[in-house]
Amino acid sequence: MIPLILLTNLLFNTLENYYVKEKTKSIFRQANIISTDLLVRGLMNESTGINEYVKGINSQDYERIIILDSRSTVTYDSNEIDTGKSYATEEVIAALKGQSKSYTKKNENIVRVITPIKDEKKDQIDGAIILISSYEDIDNSIKSQKSIAFLIIFILLILILLLSYYFSGLITKPFKKLLITINKITDGNIDEKIDIKGNYEIEEIGTAFNHMTDKLQQIDESRKQFVANVSHELKTPLSSVKVLADSLLIQPDAPKELYQEFFEDINAEIQRETTIINDLLTLVTLDKNENELNISETNLNLLIESILKRLKPLADIKGIEMIFESYREVIAEIDDTKISLALTNLIENAIKYNKENGWIKVKLNSNHKNAHIVIMDSGIGIPKESIDKIFQRFYRVDKTRSRETGGTGLGLSITHQAILMHQGYIRCNSKINSGTTFEVSLPLKRPILENIK
Ligand code: ADP
């Protein structure tokens, strides 16, 4: 708006100057015509002649005409004030020397033109003419045009202000809403949702924001669930210990054998508590990001063979046969401790949830990108509805059976987490009373983290 105001002002000033210049030129022309007429008619020395001649002109271009003789005395003044007076001013002296000049009095809106009356034939200056003209009409019309222009600008300004206020309100409204919701969430109202209307991008922000709060809610829910599960799992062995200790306390004369038996049970419960805590600590370490991986080139054939060797005594107790089928040597860039832990859990489960004299098959293969490990058993199987849940923390299909075998319900969560950290995947297939198959895939090369992100 400011450049527009300045420009309009400049435009009208230029216009006014132009019209005043044009007016000055026309007055000069008039003065020259009068000067020539006076000379041609030989009226310069006859004041009555000048009087009659000037009255006969009837010009609308000027308001006052003053004619001076060569001695700078006023021989004619249309206002009849200065007739007979001497005008020995600088401009008159200059005019009598042959110079034409014009003056503009801006505050009075007057243009004043002075020009010599020169007899070209005799090459002498007989006097001078002063024409005074008002350009108030030009000034007035420019002023009124200017007022209209400024009025339009002012109306425009008000309109623009109102429109900007309205539109900026429209634009900022969703963000204000968003801010209010963010503050509510910060205050702990995590289930707060936002409903913002606006253009596509703004609605996208709203949808993304709601997705984010959904995710936060899920995380919060699973955290609560986890804390509840941990408390419950840790409390169970402690409760058993308390019951055993209490029953010993109320029987001070109990036989030594009973003490011995109860202490063995207490010891087993403490052992169980320790196992749960150790598993939890392992899970916590695996929850850190993948930068925590200690990657090295590992021969998976050797790794699996060593796990099977370590677990053989456990399998022998149940008379389970373990077969390892390897199609080629597979070298992968992995954190061998974490993958060893993951595979140990899977093979240990295959033993734990197997039948007497059953079998376990471990197959290892690879393509140009991934290593594939399949662990099959002839065990009790997992019910269809439980397959999706077995990787959840503390989930067990049969709590009593798992407890008898020393399970914490954390083994598969640890396995799952370790494989995910390697950008791999694990799948489970099972048929109740027939057996279970776990399929693991691991990239051979360590993916570049930047690409994953
Ligand atoms: P747990 O410590 O109880 O073994 P896991 O997380 O290792 O916990 O396994 C979760 C549950 O999945 C087990 O309690 C068991 O019910 C079931 N499961 C895991 N592996 C097998 C398997 N090979 N055969 C049958 N059931 C299995």
Could you report the per-residue pLDDT of 269-295, keeping only the tens digit for each? Answer: 999 999 999 988 888 888 766 567 889
- 296-452: which CATH topology? Heat Shock Protein 90 (3.30.565)
Ligand 1: which of 318, 322, 353 to mutate, judged by most atoms within 8 Å of the beta carbon?
353
What is the number of the ligand 1 atom nearest to the C-alpha of 380? 25
Atom 19, ligand 1: residue with shortest CA distance:
349
Ligand 1: which of 349, 391, 401, 402 to mutate, judged by most atoms within 8 Å of the beta carbon?
349
What is the number of the ligand 1 atom nearest to the C-alpha of 354? 24
Query: Is the distance from the beta carbon of residue 411 to the nearest atom of ligand 1 less than 6 Å?
Result: yes
Query: Is the distance from the beta carbon of residue 394 to the nearest atom of ligand 1 less than 6 Å?
Result: no
Helix runs in 250-299, H state only: 256-287
What is the number of the ligand 1 atom nearest to the C-alpha of 345? 7
- Residue 184 Cα to ligand 1 middle (Å): 42
The Cα-based distances of 381 to 169, 350, 353, 397, 434 in angstroms read: 63, 10, 8, 10, 6
Strand partners, 371: 366, 442
Helix axes 200-249, 256-287, angle to 10 degrees: 170
In this prediction, residue 449 carries a pLDDT of 55
Q: List the structure tokens of 271.
A: 């052992």
What is the number of the ligand 1 atom nearest to the C-alpha of 414? 6
Backbone angles phi, psi at 251, to 5 degrees: -120, 80
- Residue 114 has a CB neighbour count (10 Å cut-off) of 25
Domain residue ranges in the chain: 2-142, 200-287, 296-452
List, for the chain, all residue ranges whose pLDDT scores fall below the cut of 70. Answer: 58, 288-291, 447-453
- Pick 200-287's CATH classification: 1.20.1440.230, 2.60.40.3140, 2.60.120.40, 1.10.287.130: 1.10.287.130
Q: How many residues does the chain have?
A: 453
What is the number of the ligand 1 atom nearest to the C-alpha of 409? 8
Query: Is the distance from the beta carbon of residue 174 to the nearest atom of ligand 1 less than 6 Å?
Result: no
Cβ 197 vs Cβ 203: under 8 Å: yes
Instruction: Please state, in angstroms and rounded to a whole number, the distance separating the CA atoms of residues 278 and 234.
Output: 12
Instruction: Please state, in angstroms and rounded to a whole number, the distance separating the CA atoms of residues 318 and 391.
Output: 25
Query: Is the distance from the beta carbon of residue 360 to the nearest atom of ligand 1 less than 6 Å?
Result: no
- Residue 409 Cα to ligand 1 middle (Å): 7
Vertex 375: Cα angle to 371 and 377 (nearest 5) = 170
Ligand 1: which of 396, 430, 439 to mutate, judged by most atoms within 8 Å of the beta carbon?
396
Architecture of the domain delimited by 2-142: 2-Layer Sandwich (3.30)
pTM of this structure:
0.60
- Residue 263 Cα to ligand 1 middle (Å): 29
Query: Is the distance from the beta carbon of residue 378 to the nearest atom of ligand 1 less than 6 Å?
Result: no
- Residue 390 Cα to ligand 1 middle (Å): 7
Query: Is the distance from the beta carbon of residue 335 to the nearest atom of ligand 1 less than 6 Å?
Result: no
In this prediction, residue 58 carries a pLDDT of 67
Q: Which SS3 state, helix, strand or coil, does residue 156 take?
A: helix
Atom 4, ligand 1: residue with shortest CA distance:
407
Helix axes 336-352, 411-421, angle to 10 degrees: 150
Ligand 1: which of 283, 351, 412, 419 to mutate, judged by most atoms within 8 Å of the beta carbon?
412
Residue 220 makes CB contacts below 8 A (sequence gap 6+) with 190
Residue 314 makes CB contacts below 8 A (sequence gap 6+) with 348, 351
- Residue 297 Cα to ligand 1 middle (Å): 30
Instruction: Please state, in angstroms and rounded to a whole number, the distance separating the CA atoms of residues 265 and 428.
Output: 35
In this prediction, residue 450 carries a pLDDT of 46
Atom 25, ligand 1: residue with shortest CA distance:
381
